[in-house]
Every structure is written in C-alpha cells, then in structure tokens.
Amino acid sequence: TLQARRRRCLGPLRAKRAADLPVSASWDAIPIRRCNTRAGARTGKCAAAQMGMAKCPCDGSLEESSYRSTVDQLIAGVRHNPDLLLDALADRMDRLAREQRYEEAAWARDRHDALVKALRGRWEWDSLTRAGWLELEHADGTTAVVDHGTLVETRPPGTSPGLGTVAAGPVE
C-alpha cells in the first residue's frame, strides 16, 4: 500500500536530482545493492558487488537472510536510528581527511549533509502525517487544511469552511 511504502521511503524529495546525493550517501553507509537486476537473474555479480562495495543478490549467491539484515539496517537508519547511516559517513569523511584526500572528504561531507536534510524532511513529513487534521492560517489570512499530511482544502481570507474552497485530489 501507499502508506506502507511511505514508511520505508526517504524524503519527500522534489526531484530525482534532489535524491541523488542522499541515495549515494546511503550506498556509502550501508552495502545495499545498487543494481536493479532481479535476484538470481545474472550469471555473475554486478560491478558494485565485485568491488566489495555492495552486497547484491543479483547473481543468486547471496542468501536472502544475509541480505535481509542489510536491508533492515537501512530501514532502521531511515526510520528511527540515523546514527546507523550517519556515523559510517562521518567515519569515512574523517578517514579521507586524515589521508589528505580532501576532495573526496568534501564529497563525503556533501553526501552526509544531503542525507541529514533528507532524513529531517522525512521526520517532518512523518510528524505531519501523524498530526491528523490541521488548519494552518497564513499571515495573509489564507487557510490550508491538511488531513494526515494531505492537503484537502484551501480557503481565501475570511471564507468559512466549505465555502469557496479548492479541494485537493486524492493521493494515489
């Protein structure tokens, strides 16, 4: 369901470009698969698995339970324990700086910061969806009505509920 998928997602993010750095950060933090090949569909490992950068079930040699623990670690990092992701990135950044690989350390920092921003957005979104029914009034008097994270109505200043409203479509 949509609700179940939302609980496992990072974001909301406005566009694919906005997702690139947080996704790369998660790849750096957790050895999650990077290819999109169906498990067992390849005759050999994907490039990321060959280089030891990812556990990948694409060639069928990885047990589901072994990969499940990797996925569970990523989900836990996104849902409620960001240190599982962020500490690994901070350690990588520190190691690269100590090795005087400053440009790579800066890339690691940028990925870390992008992941922090995406996680913060997810937590804010989760709070909004758990809040239930909200009526928010802007300084200009415009009112927005939000039901569990979905905009359901906007009203111009001085308008009563249900009069002159613009209803938002359902979230699919």
- Do 145 and 151 form a contact (C-beta atoms < 8 A)? yes
Question: Which residues, listed in sequence order, are joined to residue 155 by a DSSP beta bridge?
Answer: 143
**String of DSSP letters for 104-130:** HHHHHHHHHHHHHHHHHHHHHHHHHHH
Report pTM: 0.74
Structure confidence by residue, pLDDT tens digits, 55-95: 888 877 888 888 899 999 999 999 889 999 999 999 999 99
Q: Give the pLDDT score at 21.
A: 92
Question: Which residues, listed in sequence order, are joined to residue 166 by a DSSP beta bridge?
Answer: 154
